[in-house]
Chain A
Amino acid sequence: MDKKQEKQKDAGKILIEELNQDEKESATHKRSFWNVITIPLLAILSGIIIGAILIAATSTSVYAAFGQSFGKGITTAFSEIGSAYASLFTGSIGDPVRIFSALFSGDKEQIYKAINPFLESLVQATPYIFAGLAVALAFRAGLFNIGVEGQLFIGAACATFVGYAVKGLPVYIHMPLAFIAGGLGGALWGFIPGFLKATTGGHEVINTIMMNYIAFRLTEWLLSGPMTRPGSGGMPISPLIEESAQIPQFFPSPIRFHLGFFFALGFAWLIWWLLFKTKWGLNMRTVGTNPRAAKYAGLSVAKTTMIGMAISGGLAGLAGAIQILAVNRSMALGLSSGYGFDSIALALIGNNHPVGVVLASILFGTLRNGATRMMVVSRIPIDIVDVLQAIILMLVAAPAIIRTIYRLKEPKEEETTVFVSGWGGGQ
């Protein structure tokens, strides 16, 4: 018995040393960077190829052309795919020809319009970054936060309330106040399942899902009851927030690019610093990797669980707050197209690293933004982007598929994915 305990204690120590070691090593280890980034990139490429096949296979004009002749079918298929991806590109990054001609003309308005697609992609990416960070942070602490969507709704509701109910404050107080209120609302909503896990062992996966339902119904009730817009007859929409609560946009309408994107980058940096540069972050990651070892090393698993869930929920709440304060300016039913659930995918693609999350978020934002233009020009429903995202995610989640397709070598050390231990790791 004694021996066993000693052994486990050692395991804890070794683990902590290893985690420290890991950081130093990976900084000098350039190969591992390529290892990390190859799989997602190849997954994206594969997703685009499979998406192309789907675009061609669901197009009636392609079938009509095949009816005429095989060659015509092939050319039609390629031109359909070409026009779809061309519009996806010009809709999300911008039309290169237009950007150049705008730059040469020197007309400010033309330049704004030409670069708007790219800026709009960043607008789309902003809530993804916050929500993705929320999931990634929880994963690092060995927690599976499925409740990001609900936390986002609560955060949005809190930010909205402070945004319209508090009046007469200057912008540099009111705006941060509303933003923080959103974070606190989300943090509370994340803390509850964290607290339940720490004290009763109730699994956070179940509890966060249940908290989602409570959050959805609660916000519906708030929006059509206490927070409804006067004169709307009970429509599920809140009053407009005060101008002093709005996060400023940089350019005149229709460009929506706003300060919140830089908030998101700031928070990504903050989370990176917390996770990898502080003792607190080390403790958190230790608990996440092996809660038993962490316990024997003298760390409080319960405390980490509660704090981890609260911060994760807070980040999710900020995702909701940013949408209200910077983009929507009021809260209504249909606030989110599923940021909370997409964010699980983002964290996975981003390898639960803040930098990865930011990059994955920009990818998702770009895809979703480009999809609008794809719908307008090529009449391809936005659903194709959901399929694309799903394929990319599946390929990232199952790297063996990518390795087989592209004949990559198995990496020497199997990368440990933290979230796996999240399932029952704490039990």
Chain B
Amino acid sequence: MSKKFLLILSMVVIGSMLFVACGPTAEEEGVYVCQITDTGGIDDKSFNQTAWKGIQDAEEALGIRSNYLESQEVADYEKNLNAFQEEGCDLIITVGFLIGDATAAAAVANPDTYYSIVDYAYEETIPNVVGQVFETDEAAFLAGYAAAGVTQTGKVGTFGGLPIPTVTIFMDGFAKGVAKYNEVKGTNVEVLGWDLDNPDAGLFSMDFDDQQKGRELAVSLMDEGADIIMPVAGPVGLGAAAAIQERGNAYVIGVDSDWFLTSPEYADIVLTSVMKLMDATTFQVIENVINDSFEPGVIVGTLENEGVALAPFHDNANLISAELQAELDQLQADIIAGTIVLD
């Protein structure tokens, strides 16, 4: 028995040495951009995926090299940052508030590497870090206005993943858009799931993973009469879309990316999407690094610089009257011009 065991052991040892010996290391040209995802993973149909799209776009257009690491837990953030530091990345992109501490620590320890963090702004500027934040309420405002114009029941709904600023800003904008419609048209469209005056009463799935929860919340919102729902909860929202599609007489408003394109299975019920174009801002940061024009601080995505946008209505464009479309265009122009202020 032990002879057999030793034989196997020696085979394993020799094998692993061979593997080590033939490990290839090829040096390539170009700026090296590396992304570290949060626990959602690279294919979360949300900010990780969108930021990665920005890197891939840059790879195609600007000839950079890219790589990514997925984090499975909080302890991985620091480890992955170290791994990319070791790997010699020129620009490291991290995603989400929860990586904030680790990114700041790594940036201070490695002043020669550029860092950019999506959805986070440091109170004190670190000379080699740029945060990417988004005025998503500007686009959500347009979505709310459009929803109020389309609803048949006079009720629209929304729910969030967690009561955190990057989520509630969507709901704020949405509710303000509906209120604007009521003000202009003298209607009384109701928003279920979010009350501007009482944020504690908001509806939340308390989760960014479990689609079943999205399904349940969408069903209860529809039972209360909502026929347009905006779920601000990453993949949980896809559960809501599934429930809406089954019910058949309601629409969903996508968030982060254009769901008509990213989730074509729900194309028939996607009214529009509130797009948070992290790919655009990420691309911008990469371009700045290449051109030696990196500026620390924050990049703010707005309607004006197309960091946020309302997606086209695609197949459901027939629901939007020419008049409503004209009003939306005017509102967008007003927001960009600063005549409508949302804060």
Contacts and interface: CB of A to CB of B under 8 A. Distances in A.
B98 A323 contact: no
B162 A236 contact: yes
Interface stretch (B14-22, B53-61, B298-306, B332-340): B14-22
A61 interface: no
Contacts of A333: 39, 98
Nearest to B101: A330
Interface stretch (B1-9, B147-155, B263-271): B1-9
Nearest to A382: B70
A54 to B, nearest CB: 16
Given A83-B24, A89-B19, A330-B101, A34 B73 contact: no
Interface residues of A, number: 57
Given A34-B2, A79-B24, A376-B84, A337 B72 contact: yes
B79 interface: yes
A87 interface: yes
A388 B163 CA distance: 38
Interface in B33-78: 38-39, 67, 69-76, 78
A375 B70 contact: yes
Given A34-B2, A86-B19, A237 B73 contact: no
A96 B5 CA distance: 24
B277 to A, nearest CB: 22
A382 B68 CA distance: 11
Contact of A328 (B38, B75, B87): B75
Contacts of B70: 375, 381-382
Contact of B75 (A86, A240, A327, A373): A327
Contact of B87 (A254, A369, A376): A376
A274 to B, nearest CB: 29
Nearest to B84: A376
- Interface of A (DSSP majority class): helix
A180 interface: no
B30 to A, nearest CB: 17
A106 interface: no
A233 B165 contact: yes
B324 interface: no
A80 to B, nearest CB: 10
Nearest to A253: B109
Given A89-B16, A235-B164, A376-B87, A240 B101 contact: yes
B23 interface: yes
Nearest to B99: A332
A19 interface: no
Contacts of A338: 72
B23 A382 contact: no
A95 B19 CA distance: 11
B20 A323 contact: no
Contact of A86 (B23, B87, B162): B23
Interface stretch (A7-15, A38-46, A162-170, A277-285): A38-46
Contacts of B12: 45, 48
Contacts of A323: 74-75
Nearest to B25: A377
B78 A256 contact: yes
Interface in A230-246: 231-237, 240
A90 B20 contact: yes
A335 B22 CA distance: 37
A235 B69 contact: no
Contacts of A234: 162-165
Contact of B22 (A34, A82, A253): A82
Contacts of B18: 82
Given A34-B1, A236-B164, A372-B79, A334 B73 contact: yes
B319 interface: no
Given A31-B1, A254-B82, A334 B38 contact: yes
Interface string A347-389: 0000000000000000000000100110111010110000000
Contacts of A41: 5, 8-9
A234 B202 CA distance: 14
Contacts of B71: 334
Interface in A74-90: 79, 81-83, 85-87, 89-90
B284 interface: no
A217 interface: yes
A220 interface: yes
A372 B83 contact: yes
B67 A337 contact: no
Contacts of A236: 98, 162, 164
Interface string B93-128: 000011001000100010000000000000100000
Interface in A49-86: 79, 81-83, 85-86
A120 B86 CA distance: 14
Interface in A205-254: 217, 220, 224, 231-237, 240, 253-254
Interface of B: 1-2, 5, 8-9, 12, 16, 18-24, 38-39, 67, 69-76, 78-80, 82-87, 97-98, 101, 105, 109, 123, 162-165, 206
Given A41-B5, A217-B206, 10 more contacts: A82-B18, A83-B22, A95-B20, A224-B162, A234-B164, A253-B105, A328-B74, A375-B69, A376-B87, A379-B67
Q: Which 9 A-B pairs have the closest CB atoms?
A: A86-B23, A337-B72, A334-B39, A337-B73, A254-B82, A86-B19, A233-B165, A85-B19, A82-B22
25 contacts: A34-B2, A34-B5, A41-B8, A48-B12, A82-B18, A82-B23, A85-B19, A89-B19, A90-B23, A224-B163, A234-B163, A234-B165, A236-B98, A236-B162, A240-B101, A253-B105, A253-B109, A254-B82, A254-B109, A328-B75, A332-B74, A333-B39, A335-B74, A337-B73, A382-B72
